[in-house]
A = this chain, B = another copy of it.
Amino acid sequence: MYKVKVYVTLKESVLDPQGSAVKNSLHSLSYNEVEDVRIGKYMELTVQDTENLDQRIKEICEKLLANTVIEDYTYEIEEGVAQ
């Protein structure tokens, strides 16, 4: 069993209105030290042992989890999760 952590973030060039809203809220709460906020998604997949795991995770990310036109993704595969 593997635990796969997937991080999906907006590409640098893409505006992040949700992040801007959070930044403005932080400033209105007097957290002025926060210069920028970018919001993404974090997904944890519990995956059974399978052939070509790395390749299949890549496919999953590109087909379903990330919109590669505007988003980047990275992932980490952790072995041996006892669940």
The reply to whether A65 and B33 contact each other, CB–CB distance below 8 Å, is: no
The reply to whether A7 and B46 contact each other, CB–CB distance below 8 Å, is: no
* Copies of this protein chain in the complex: 2
- Which positions in A face B, CB cutoff 8 Å? 1, 7-9, 19, 22, 25-26, 29, 31, 33-50, 56, 59-60, 63-65, 83
A43 and B43 in contact, given A35-B48, A64-B22 (Cβ under 8 angstroms):
no
Query: Which B residues lie within 8 Å of A59 (CB)?
Result: 31
A34 and B9 in contact, given A22-B43, A39-B43, A40-B42 (Cβ under 8 angstroms):
no
With beta carbons under 8 angstroms apart, the residue of B22, B26, B60 that contacts A34 is B60
Docked complex Cα distance between A47 and B35 (Å): 6
